[in-house]
A and B are shown apart, each in its own frame.
Chain A
């Protein structure tokens, strides 16, 4: 039973560049979440998908951020025109159905130069 997989694990980029992260949830998990974690803090909710539908977005998700889950399986999170403040760990989680615990991947650590 493979867990949540995220790629890449680390991304270093220059300010102003676009970046895209991928998340593969646990097989058959129809609920997928993105969270952001900065140093010394707990993860903060960004957005949620049920199957392919993006049903909720946090105010943290500015218009430079976009997320997709085109076939209800893997998801991508894109950040356009990256800024210094985007440096963080981006975590993906999935759950089998409502009221079930969320299981996290190991995240993508983004560093903006």
Chain B
């Protein structure tokens, strides 16, 4: 089935540093989404991207929908302790159920 390759798998950074993670696919998606998941909780939507080349910000978060529609990246600027968690990219299939295909996640750890 379809798979998304998300990297890096984990990151260990100092508080205040910027973070960058990305997702690539062999398939084209019409929508890319980024979610954050804390332990024992469900994924929380951070940013949704609907158009190739689109660059969208949500506070300190910025995400882009790749021009080929096969990739996306997420940047977090000036990281703070509450940014700790697992970040997932998801591509949305436009047909039928419009189900989400998720990457394997990037685990972010921040040293204060």
Q: Which residues of A contact B (CB under 8 A)?
A: 4, 6, 31, 33, 35, 40-45, 48, 55-56, 91, 93, 95, 98-99, 101-107, 109
* Chain A residue at minimum C-beta to C-beta distance from B38: A106
Chain A positions within 8 Å of B48 at CB level: 101
Within 8 A of A (CB), among B22-55: 31, 33, 35, 40-45, 48, 50
* Chain A residue at minimum C-beta to C-beta distance from B6: A42
Q: Which residues of B contact A (CB under 8 A)?
A: 4, 6, 31, 33, 35, 40-45, 48, 50, 88, 90, 94, 96-105
Whether the pair B96, A41 counts as a contact (CB closer than 8 A) is no
| C-alpha spacing A57/B105, complex, angstroms | 24
* Additional A-B contact list (16), CB under 8 Å, known A33-B100, A105-B42, A106-B42: A35-B100, A40-B104, A42-B102, A42-B104, A44-B102, A45-B101, A55-B96, A56-B96, A56-B99, A93-B100, A99-B50, A102-B33, A103-B45, A104-B42, A104-B43, A107-B42
Select one of A35, A101, A105, A109 contacting B33, CB under 8 A: A101
| C-alpha spacing A10/B15, complex, angstroms | 33
Select one of B31, B44, B103 contacting A104, CB under 8 A: B44
| C-alpha spacing A76/B81, complex, angstroms | 37
